[in-house]
A and B are shown apart, each in its own frame.
Chain A
Amino acid sequence: MARKISMKQAINEALDLEMTRDPTVIVMGEDIVGGTGSPGEDDAWGGVLGVTKGLHAKHGDRLMDTPLSESAYIGAAIGAATCGLRPVAELMFIDFMGVCFDQIFNQAAKFRYMFGGKAETPVVIRAMVGAGFRAAAQHSQMLTPIFTHIPGVKVVCPSNAYDAKGLLIQSIRDNDPVIFCEHKNLYGLECDVPAESYAIPFGEANVLRDGDDVTIVSYGLTVHRAMEAAEALAKEKVEAEVIDLRTLSPIDWDTVIDSVERTGRLVVVDEAHPRCSIASDVAAFVGQNAFGALKAGVQMVTAPHVPVPFSPVLEDLYIPNAAAIADAARRTLAPTGTSPRSIAA
């Protein structure tokens, strides 16, 4: 039965259920148990934000703390995946992928193709994404587009607890490498989540709100900003359809195209930087495949082309907000010729 739990609890529950169901599921990462080898409490942390708290007591050595050594343990997770385990490796902050990227994009992503379809690499790499944590340039990035660029990995970024649980269970059961992006500012957000196991298929966007006037496409935290914008627009009698992509690779083009063909207007919201982003990807795809349906130029609302700043006043300006999204929607609705040039922030 369903009850309200946070996204953090939902992720913990998905790991717990899958470890219980399948003895080949192992979990590794820096401080995911916490305190290993230290004189104090065992299971001291359960991850830096406590996402894996309590799992060590239940599943023992199948949860492994690692040295601070991302290349080695992310590679080990990938190697173990080719040898019959289903490892879930926590990279902590996705920003750290810079030190282990080879193992993800040259190894895990390419085994199946390079080896002529004879390899399976069912590894999940969990990592926190996103700004708003006052964590500055190296702990706050939304690096999803870097992974969607690479054939052979799948990229998931849930916006709520229900999706996080179902998508993580699917990620663990999936036979391909999955980059599972968890927005740290959504960890505390609660919604109804069934206690049972369930898997949400990849490539199935969620339509959060119906509307015939403008389509707003997003994923992760900015889905909530898009919903706020849609409520503001509704007061102006503008009904926005809000689409949460949920998975970025594969991506549900059909739902986006169907919606744009009905509304004729598109705003894409992405917490990543504007260049070669999810936003520019969606804009390009719609431009190529639904140009005839468009009544106005596609608007992108993204973070600016700058690193994530530290000072709260600057960071708050950095993150796409509801007002900017609503303004972008209004630009698509302005009579032709009066629309101000979109500023790619």
Chain B
Amino acid sequence: MTDLAVASHGLTKRFGSQVAVDAVDLAVPRGAVFGFLGPNGSGKTTTIRMLLGLITPTAGGHELLGRAMPDRAADVLPRVGALVEGPGFHPYLSGRDNLRRVDAADRTAEGRTAEARIAAALDRVGLSAAAAKRYRTYSLGMKQRLAIAAALLVPRELLILDEPTNGLDPQGTREVRTLVAALAAEGSTVLLSTHLLAEVEQVCTHVGVMHRGKLVAQEPLGKLRADAAPMARVLTDQPGAAATVLRAMGLTEVTETAAEASGRLGAAAPEKVVAALVHDGVPVRGFTVQAPSLEDVFVQLTGRGFDVSS
């Protein structure tokens, strides 16, 4: 048994000439809440579909909970709850009937306990009151909640949640965050694909960043942020002179405004930068070193904001 809940080796998917996922080596430790980030179109969902055996990889392979997929899918997938690319249910069935159908399809689930488990799952996502309504009358947020309920019908060791807060109101987003934290506390591993960085900062222990089909970073959240170069800001009435010194000290991305100069600290130690400024006669009114926000890290890794990768 390995201590990885998800492990992929060179997982690759080509659609025609386009490489959607390029040699991804995921390593999600058991017990982690793994934030799977990336711009739209970066290959997150294709990766998740491969993890669940919906798509056959062009090359590479993977294990879930220590078992090779897709060969052991029948053993592994009952212990994996999944939400893939939005909810999918029968519109003319009620929420409860839809869950009954999902549960009936599960050969490992016990029919005797189905009603109780369905009621508990509905309750957990706050959908009990609307359980008897037809799915087609649900709002997007309610649909999303039902999909999460379906993933929670039986206890899961691993939850793969693709954008679970999509379409939820702020209240719902918060509830899902609490739910994910609770599931992790119960011992489940969670792989959470999202583009809401605030969500990641609050609940995730590990982060993987996809960009153009490649996994460009995969680290514990704290380490990722520590590794990213912090910014140094100098408050001064001579920003031009300050900027010159910063450049001379090897800082990158140096910018200057009317009352300050700033740049990304590379190998340069902040105290040496201050000493150099003072030595060169630049009047320093204030000096701060800021750890980059996750958004800064993200933009550094993916080169740009949340545009669609081409």
A and B: interacting chains: no
